[in-house]
Structure 1
Amino acid sequence: MTNYDEAILRSGRIDPAAPFPVLHQAMRIALHDQYAAQSFHGRVVEAFGSRPPFVGVVRAKERHIAALSALCQRFGIPRPLNPFPQETSVSPSWRANCERGVAGEIANIRLCEYLLTQVGEPDARRLLQGLQAASLEHHLPAFRQAVAEAMAQERYHAARGIPPQEAYVRHGPLSDFMERALAHAGPLGMFSPLLRHSHPAMLAGMVAGGAGIYLLKNRSGRNR
């Protein structure tokens, strides 16, 4: 079953010839767009776990959908059907999904900008401005940072002969922390060649072992 205004929703553009008021079209377009975003981010969380920025953005999209739905109910606008749970797929690459997140937020900012040129109703305008601000000030920077971190992590693994699709395998909290730290680290003095070619799990073991020795010595010193 499809929406009666499917072409309008998919195009994201007001149709002056359509038998629906501008506000009616705009609110349905905005809600349809939020459905798509929520479904995509939710699929990434299902595939990769509750990792930022996706897990936070899913919650934000749910709030946006609730606010748009309330406004639609207030103005007697029927909410569109949500086809995206059946349509949405994600990439096996974390970086590719982060890049898609960047593109999606840019598209959302532009959509809100366009709809704001069409809508005059004050409450609808305030809601659209809020959606645009959330994307511009919070979601877009978060996804851009995620892309930068993914690129750094892939470079770090590539130096060890590990392909990009395996760059996000988890080794445990300490190993994962070491990977993130070393992926963004600059020159590390005389230890740099060793660290560049060491496996993350081995580095984590070195840190854990060193910490254990330090604690043992410290305790022995206090006992003496």
Structure 2
Amino acid sequence: MKKWMNGIVGGALAVLLLSGTGVMASEDEELYGAAAVSEGETYTIEEMLVYAIQDEYMAEAAYEAIMDAYGTVKPFTSIAKAEGTHISLLLPLFETYGFEVPENEAEARIELPASLAESFEAGVAGEIKNISVYGQFLEAEDLPDDVRSVFERLMAASENHLAAFERGVTGNPDGAGRKK
């Protein structure tokens, strides 16, 4: 399983790097969302929540831009809607812990992939990164139960989205997107 996952990650990243495109922030901008999370670093609850909601903003904006450019294609339609749900799961945590909700700057930060095929590949790479980020956040000591619960839900959603995007890469995007 790990070799397979490494192959998918490597392939998706290679395509994105070689193509020079992807749904990501521009090089000269401050890191935002999952791109700001470094492996092995520890983060405060506020930082984790900020990076998580920024990443959900990015995903929602990216999938909306992809649909605007290439049509309302599965699974982007359902996953874009899910990103709004993910944002609504995170918002109450900002209030609970007295943190300011960051402004949604995602629309100005995304770059549209050059094709629908590259959009699926970017989706695979993005969901793999999300799974890694939520896994890292869940390793934090003394993570409050409500935050842990939301991060677990978001990680599970990313696993489902990954399966859907992988089907899109192989030319079968119409599946349910559920991890079995």
Q: TM-score, normalised by structure 1?
A: 0.58
1:33: how far off? 1.1
Contact (CA 8 Å) 1:34, 1:65: kept in 2 or not?
A: yes
Cα distance in 1, alignment partners of residues 76 and 147 from structure 2:
26
Q: Which amino acid aligns with 1:106?
A: I
Match of residue 127 from structure 1 = 150
Contact (CA 8 Å) 1:102, 1:143: kept in 2 or not?
A: yes
Q: Which amino acid aligns with 2:114?
A: P
Cα distance in 1, alignment partners of residues 128 and 75 from structure 2:
15
* Runs (5+) with no aligned partner, structure 2: 1-29, 173-180
Paired-residue identity, %: 28
Could you say if the C-alpha distance between residues 22 and 96 of structure 1 is closer, same or farther in structure 2, counting changes exceeding 3 Å? Answer: same
1:89: how far off? 2.1
Match of residue 28 from structure 1 = 50
Match of residue 164 from structure 2 = 142
Which structure has the bigger radius of gyration? Answer: 1
Q: Which amino acid aligns with 1:144?
A: E
Contact (CA 8 Å) 2:54, 2:106: kept in 1 or not?
A: no
1:7: how far off? 5.7
Could you say if the C-alpha distance between residues 145 and 15 of structure 1 is closer, same or farther in structure 2, counting changes exceeding 3 Å? Answer: closer
User: Which of the two has greater helix per residue?
Assistant: 1
Match of residue 112 from structure 1 = 134
After superposition, the C-alpha distances for 1:90-119 in whole angstroms (9 at most, x for unaligned) are: 123111110000001000000000111125
1:60 aligns with 2:46: no
Greater relative contact order (Cα < 8 A, sep 6+): 2
1:85 aligns with 2:107: yes
Cα distance in 2, alignment partners of residues 113 and 78 from structure 1:
24
Cα distance in 1, alignment partners of residues 113 and 138 from structure 2:
32
Secondary structure of the corresponding residue to residue 170 of structure 2: helix
Structure 1 runs (4+) deviating above 3 angstroms are: 6-10, 13-16
Contact (CA 8 Å) 1:8, 1:15: kept in 2 or not?
A: no
Cα distance in 1, alignment partners of residues 111 and 46 from structure 2:
29
Cα distance in 1, alignment partners of residues 158 and 72 from structure 2:
20
Match of residue 51 from structure 1 = 73
After superposition, the C-alpha distances for 1:158-215 in whole angstroms (9 at most, x for unaligned) are: xxxxxxxxxxxxxxxxxxxxxxxxxxxxxxxxxxxxxxxxxxxxxxxxxxxxxxxxxx
1:8: how far off? 7.8
Q: Please, what is the CA RMSD of the aligned residues?
A: 2.1
* Runs (5+) with no aligned partner, structure 1: 1-5, 151-224
Cα distance in 2, alignment partners of residues 50 and 11 from structure 1:
30
Q: Which amino acid aligns with 1:131?
A: L
Match of residue 70 from structure 1 = 92
Secondary structure of the corresponding residue to residue 149 of structure 1: coil
Contact (CA 8 Å) 2:32, 2:54: kept in 1 or not?
A: no
After superposition, the C-alpha distances for 1:111-155 in whole angstroms (9 at most, x for unaligned) are: 00011112510010010000001111x2111100011007xxxxx
Q: TM-score, normalised by structure 2?
A: 0.71
Cα distance in 1, alignment partners of residues 51 and 67 from structure 2:
25
